[in-house]
Structure 1
Amino acid sequence: MVESSPIVCSASWFPPVTGGMATVANELAELFEGNGFRAVRLSYPTSKLSAPNYTLQSLLTVAKSNIVHLHVASKKAALWSLPPAVAAVILHKPFILHYHGGNANDLMNVAGGKMMLSRAAAIVTPSPAVKKQFEEKGYKPELIVNGLFTSKFPYKEKDFTVPQMLSARPLYPHYNTDVLIEATDILRQKYPATRLTIAGDGPESKRLKEKVTSLNLLGNVEFTGPVSPSKINELYANHNILLSAVKYDNRPVSFIEAQSSGAIVIAVNAWDKEAPIKNGITGILTQTAKPKEIADAVDRIISDNSKAARISIEARAESEAHDWGNIFPWWLVLYRKILDSDKRI
């Protein structure tokens, strides 16, 4: 049993890399550092050229750690998590597989995925739907929802007279950002001042910008590129709606951040009965990712300011349950359980 100052190897991308996983990984490391642990950040490479050095770095970092926390949200992250996972197995160090993705099959089908799942001391997901997917394959995951510092995203009463919309997901095909652009094209017919800000970057960037130009939406759609975690709160403060057209998803940090800030989340129902927002109460869910359905959902919000205000207030209350002050204790319990049961330490 570890007596004091156990060392955590936290493996992930970290800021300035953007995205929910990087933010959660960094904030969790900070919280552990403030609660009797020493956190060592093992950053996943952003280039294959770093692979040889990274493999050695993984081995050395895991060797001096008491517990390893692997963050995975995509196939690429799963591949980069493999070296520290293998090092943990070789060196007999317990590791947590923290899966941030929206489809468990993506992890189970990637090289090394099943090995990591079978050897992990704990599998954690923030999504009840993903937890169920793992359970159907015989795994026993833990459910710990995403957290945030609500103080970083203060509530701001919004003006819901014109759609001021935000997309805060990377520009990859499965995020369906083109659907949001087409919905904006529909909305501007009724609301000429409609605005969509696309905060993110990725391989779809060039094609999406060309689409905006072809639809003559340059006055309605803005691409910001990557936005650092320290600046994203400004975007939430200046927009009244967060849009998502993803057909399968986890419980995105961006949803909680938007709700904390007073923006209304409008998203495709990618979760069936396990949706992270209550339709018509803490946000709006559409049944499909069709531009017309998303545009109609936005129109209903803008057309009923009193309902919009109620949803905004309820969403803020919901976000407060996700404050790290409420969520982090669950991580402490899990870490201590793993460390206390690991007879090798």
Structure 2
Amino acid sequence: MSADFSSIKVALVGPKAPPAGGMANQTAQLKQLLESSGAYVYFIEVNPDYKPAFIGKLPGIRALFRLPQYCLSLFRGYSKVDVVHLMANSGWSWHLFAAPAIWIAKLRSKPILVNYRGGHAFDFFSRSWPLVSASLKQSAGVIVPSVYLQQVFSQFKQASTIVANTLDTELFKPTKKQVNSTQLHIIVTRNLEAIYDVATAIRAFALILQSHSDAKLTIAGEGPELAQLQQLVTELQLDTAVNFVGRLNRNDMAALYQSADIMLNTSLVDNSPNSLIEAMASGVAIISSNVGGIPLLVKHEYDALLTAPKQPELIFQQLKRLLNNPELKQQLITNGLASSSRFHWSNVSKVLLEQYQRAITGKGIN
């Protein structure tokens, strides 16, 4: 049973989809879960539609054009709530959206919790900590989704509290694979960006295809690397075995997990990726790079197999292990299902409600 938020009025400040992505999806899911648990949620978009629409085609100018409208929405919206929940990221996103949200909360005398989720946190803080710290001092505290980010903040002498990402257990759940289905189905569910190094997953798949000629690879995501990755598939003569399905809605993504045998995650930079959590909850075996916060999210040979990044041969070796050792694969799946329970709303909600209550009463959370 989830915590009761019926006495809480919260302004949720974060991105809306499109574009879809981890933070936008988590924001939408958090809004739905809070409301289902009785909270009043006033959603303030950091990326409202441009008015007039043509401004959206002018890089640089468009962000500054959006800022006055955004700040006005913050100023007005804060009057309706008891506490502010800010979804924050690194880089220019921090300076343009997070910092104004914090300072306007200070102006309106509203407690604000900074839910920091940037995978590039250490590099960003190393460059910009004096500015970031000045804003954080105006907040009621920092909450983070992972041990990894908590450790990053601790390196800069900033306390934080872990409130895990939430998992939609109605969507992401295991299902029995078709008994008569013997085709190996491997999936990748990351955006097609350089930091996710999908090329390594494709190269590893090419190696396993030599011994499993009917295997298929489904790549769900969009991004600037699409044309380059499609060219790689053609060069490796994998066109009939690799399918780029683009960005999927949540229902279709859940169905993709349920149809899969193994998920590959080959990212070069990462924090606590929702895709791994969703795969575990769906009963999919995981092979992943061991970068960033991933080794703190999953444990090698317990609920995932981890390898060094940019090493398709190592991914291939781990694929062979799973295919030759069904007991190991089932062990990963069973343990992954158990691990995913940390992200159930029934558990996360109790921690989050406590943080809201402490912020509202002025006790702070850290």
Q: TM-score, normalised by structure 1?
A: 0.89
> What is aligned with 1:140?
159
Tell me which stretches of 4 or more aligned residues in structure 1 moved more than 4 Å. Answer: 158-162, 271-274
- In structure 2, the CA distance between the partners of 1:323 and 1:6, relative to structure 1 (3 Å rule), is closer
- In structure 2, the CA distance between the partners of 1:61 and 1:342, relative to structure 1 (3 Å rule), is farther
* Cα distance in 2 for residues equivalent to 1:269 and 1:209: 26
After superposition, where does 1:121-140 map in structure 2 within 5 Å? 121-140=140-159
After superposition, where does 1:62-211 map in structure 2 within 5 Å? 62-75=78-91, 77-78=93-94, 79-108=96-125, 109=127, 113-158=132-177, 162-211=183-232
- In structure 2, the CA distance between the partners of 1:273 and 1:216, relative to structure 1 (3 Å rule), is closer
CA contact (8 A) 1:45 1:80 kept: no
CA contact (8 A) 1:134 1:141 kept: yes
Secondary structure, counterpart of 1:279 in structure 2 = coil
* Cα distance in 1 for residues equivalent to 2:307 and 2:132: 32
> What is aligned with 1:231?
252
State the one-letter code of the partner of 2:13.
A
State the one-letter code of the partner of 1:200.
G
CA contact (8 A) 1:161 1:305 kept: no
Q: What displacement does 1:335 show?
A: 0.4
Secondary structure, counterpart of 2:166 in structure 1 = coil
Q: What displacement does 1:116 show?
A: 3.2
* Cα distance in 1 for residues equivalent to 2:115 and 2:35: 18
> What is aligned with 2:53?
none
| 1:12 pairs with one of 14, 24, 28 | 14
After superposition, where does 1:261-276 map in structure 2 within 5 Å? 261-271=282-292, 274-276=295-297
Residue 246 (str. 1) matches residue 247 (str. 2): no
* Cα distance in 2 for residues equivalent to 1:224 and 1:69: 34
> What is aligned with 1:339?
360
CA contact (8 A) 1:162 1:302 kept: no
- In structure 2, the CA distance between the partners of 1:151 and 1:161, relative to structure 1 (3 Å rule), is same
State the one-letter code of the partner of 1:81.
A
CA contact (8 A) 2:196 2:269 kept: no
Which runs of no fewer than 5 residues in structure 1 stay unpaired? none
State the one-letter code of the partner of 1:80.
F
Residue 281 (str. 1) matches residue 302 (str. 2): yes
CA contact (8 A) 2:267 2:289 kept: yes
* Cα distance in 2 for residues equivalent to 1:6 and 1:314: 35
Which runs of no fewer than 5 residues in structure 2 stay unpaired? 49-55, 57-61
Secondary structure, counterpart of 1:321 in structure 2 = helix
